[in-house]
Amino acid sequence: MLTGKFSKRLACALVLAATVGAGMAHAQEARIAAVNSDRILRESVTAKAAQTRLEAEFASRSKALADLAQKLKTDSENLDKNGATMSASARAQAQSELSATDSTFQRKQRTYNEDLNQRRNEELAAVLDRANKVIKQIAEQQHYDLIVQEAVYVSPRIDITDQVLKALAASGSGNGTN
For 99-165, the DSSP string reads: HHHHHHHHHHHHHHHHHHHHHHHHHHHHHHHHHHHHHHHHHHHTT-SEEES--S---TTTB-HHHHH
Model pLDDT, residue 83 = 82
| Rounded-to-integer distance, Cα 23 and Cα 133, Å | 34
pLDDT tens-place string over residues 62-96? 999 999 999 999 999 998 998 888 898 999 999 99
Q: Within the chain, which residues score under 50 in pLDDT?
A: 1-3, 6-20, 22-24, 173-178
Q: How much of the chain is in helix, strand and coil states, percent to nearest 5?
A: 80, 5, 15
pTM of the entire predicted model: 0.69
In the chain, what are the domains? 28-175 (3.30.910.20)
